[in-house]
Amino acid sequence: MKIFRTKQTLQNYLDGMRESKQRIALVPTMGALHEGHLSLVKDAQQIADVVVCSIFVNPTQFNDPSDLEKYPRPEENDLRLLQEIRCDVAFIPTVEEMYPKTEESWHLDLGNLEQVWEGEKRPGHFQGVTQIVYKLFRLVEPDVACFGQKDFQQVMVIQRLIDIKKLPITLHICSTVRNEKGLALSSRNMRLSAAGKDKALALYRSLNHVKRYFKVRELNTLRKEALDILHQEGEIEVEYLTICETRSLQEIDHIDPAKRHVALLVAWVEGVRLIDNMLLD
């Protein structure tokens, strides 16, 4: 595996790959890799000749400076995991490398996607996400970019970025990786106790209920039943549970057969904010 820490050395290497007509995939991450991240790399390996995994804790997408400070950075372990699955390239730049100017202006019109759900809860977050992803897109010039379905709103934001900038990049959405009981894998799970992880399984049961009865229950009834599943577990604080159209993430009050739909869920368990979702069609 090649390891690059500067934009220039990565670019020089990828120029050679392009000259030999290699198909390039990008997997952007913030490190602290787990099986969910590795599944993105493995998916990318199936559809590209060269896979670039970037590891960069992006400061512009954090609302709280203390969250940025506390974010785990186990670089040695991350590189070991990538080597084990034969990733081709790891790109690990510094903040100064990615943001040479201290105050860079950036704004993308994300429309409703920035106003609802995660956009409302974390103002400015998606501007920071699109800022760094666009930098990586310009640098790597991938044919395909792989993102996990688990952060569904982020995936829709990245698709909007690709559309607005008219980038020749295919967005590949990789299925959420879950443990054997159904808990979506996340670096945040490490902060849960064994009892907390068991409690968090109610998120999966709730989403499964929505998927199973999506076409046969009245939507308000279905939402109430899904919330009841979460509340029965006790000590789960639900931030939001909603059923939306996939592209705009507008909450629906009826099913449109011409559109696709997703259930989005955020809940707190043992002081840890857990995000999950399920495609319904």
Per-residue pLDDT of the chain (281 residues; tens, 9 = 90+): 999 999 999 999 999 999 999 999 999 999 999 999 999 999 999 999 999 999 999 999 998 898 899 888 999 999 999 999 999 999 999 999 999 987 789 999 999 999 999 999 999 999 999 999 999 999 999 999 999 999 999 999 999 999 999 999 999 999 999 999 999 999 888 889 999 999 999 999 999 999 999 999 999 999 999 999 999 988 999 999 999 999 999 999 999 999 999 999 999 999 999 999 999 99
Q: Which pTM does this prediction carry? A: 0.94
Residue count of the chain: 281
Taking residue 281's Cβ as centre, other Cβ atoms within 10 Å add up to 12
Closest C-alpha to 235, from 198, 260, 204, 185: 198
* Domains of the chain with CATH codes: 2-174 (3.40.50.620), 187-279 (3.30.1300.10)
Which residues belong to the annotated binding site for beta-alanine? 61
Are 89 and 13 in contact by the 8 Å Cβ rule? The answer is yes
37 catalytic per annotation: yes
pLDDT attached to residue 276: 97
Which residues belong to the annotated binding site? 30-37, 61, 148-151, 154, 177, 185-188
CA-to-CA dists, residue 36 to 40, 42, 175, angstroms: 7, 10, 9
Helix/strand/coil percent split, the chain, to 5? 45, 20, 35
Which residues belong to the annotated binding site for ATP? 30-37, 148-151, 177, 185-188
